[in-house]
Amino acid sequence: MTLARPTRARHVVLWMTVAVYMLTYMDRVVLAAATPDMRKELGFDLITMGRIAAAFQLSYALFQVPGGLLGDKLGPRRALPLIVIWWSAFTSMTALAGTATVMIAVRFLFGIGEAGAFPIATRSLSRWMLAAERGYAQGITHAGSRLGSAITPPIVAWLILHYGWRVPFWVFGALGLVWAVAWYLYYRDSPDEHAGVNAAELDLIHAGGAVRKSVPTKVPWGQILSSPTMLFLCPMYFCYNYCLQVYIVWYPTYLRESRGMTLTEMGFYASLPLLAGTAGDLLGGWCSDRVLKRTSNINLARRWVAIAGFLVCAAATVPAALTSNVQLSVICSSIAFFALEWTVGVSWAVPLDIGGDFSGSISAFMNMCGNLGGTLSSFALGYMVTLWGWNVPFLVTGGLTAFAALLYLKIDASRRIA
């Protein structure tokens, strides 16, 4: 008698999660890619655009924990489609905003919806993914977000050339509605409840260290907030996200206004660092899991893999900012962003390592702190460029990534919370 082969429903769940990560960043990058044309029509200066970007980052940060709690309360099957429909509606409504005040309000409401995406998605994987697949799973999901970022600028540039800057917001908003229906029909909050999971895959999932379905309990916030790992994990992610937003929000504008590129050139060159970041996401998480499998040393797998990425990013940022050669600048920026994204799958694996069934709340708090850094980045960059030019914001990111490497020395993924 031969044993049945394990089904692969968990891989379908993973790829659907990758798709929603792609949507989150595609909907953000639409604004970044459309910014120069919006500014021409609506008369917004860089400082005003910084406030618009900061409005999203602020609500995105403030609603991380409520979003994670929503996922814990409703379960990912219901919570994720709900918030995707919400933010997709406000993606489309961005096209209707004609004043800075309305634009700020719409982007703030857009951020409320997107805030729950990563915590709830992390929660959705906690019962499905094996422990030895977590770094790869977090790497590939974040790679999906960066791939979404990379393919969006040329699509938006084409749509703007043919239909104007408002149409991309309607197109990308509609994609979210399609995903929400597909997720609700396929996903289940536990693999035990999924008709497509056979006994062999269920045994594999349970034996591999995935979180078992349990009776809901209160989130142990006292233990979470007093955890030494969290005390260093959160400021590390603050530094990471500050740097991330410089590339996600401002890089297309930088290429057009500082490097003198046309819309078509920007659509191509703005994609290169983001494509490099996609590879960084995949390889960083994969490398972390390989080290864990070979050594069974979780801190070697998480801590030192991430430190290497942050240090390379810091080293590549300086020539990217200071060289006068446009192509060399883009190459160095691509190396820097590859290395920055090398760290992200590792960082999001840590909440799964230490949090178990509370990983949604833990990752929400980490991401809240990270996006406070993103808020500061979005708000401050317009002022920095106005006062000191475009080099200073990028050099600041180099310093912050070096500091993040130091913080990682104190992050202990072996110390579970609760």
Q: What is the per-residue pLDDT across 333-370, written as a single tens digit (0 to 9) for each?
A: 999 999 999 998 888 888 878 877 677 778 888 988 99
Three-state DSSP class for 164? coil
Given a contact cutoff of 8 angstroms between Cβ atoms, the answer to whether 247 and 335 are in contact is no
Cβ–Cβ < 8 Å for 248, 28: yes
pLDDT, tens only, 142-199: 778 878 877 887 888 888 888 888 898 999 999 999 999 999 999 998 888 888 888 8
Residues 261-270 have pLDDT tens digits of 887 888 788 8
Banded model confidence at residue 131, pLDDT cuts 50, 70, 90? low
**pLDDT at residue 106, rounded to an integer:** 93
> What percentage of the chain has pLDDT greater than the value 90?
30
Token couple for 38: 């919006």
d(CA 292, CA 290): 5
State how far the Cα of 114 lies from the Cα of 80, in Å rounded to an integer: 10
pLDDT for 81 equals 94
Looking at 116-258, list the stretches that DSSP marks H as alpha helix, in order from N- to C-terminal side. 117-126, 134-163, 167-186, 199-207, 221-226, 228-257
The per-residue pLDDT of the chain, averaged, comes to: 86
Provide the pLDDT for residue 197. 84
pLDDT of residue 149: 78
pLDDT band at residue 216 under the 50/70/90 scheme: low
The region, left, alpha or beta by phi > 0 then psi within -120 to 50, assigned to residue 323 is beta
Q: What is the pLDDT of residue 418?
A: 63
Amino acid identity of 57? Answer: Q
User: How does residue 125 score in pLDDT terms, banded at 50, 70 and 90?
Assistant: confident
CA distance 2 to 130: 24
Which is the CATH superfamily of the domain at 9-211+220-408?
A: MFS general substrate transporter like domains (1.20.1250.20)
Do the Cβ atoms of 299 and 414 come closer than 8 Å?
yes
- The pLDDT assigned to 357 comes to 67
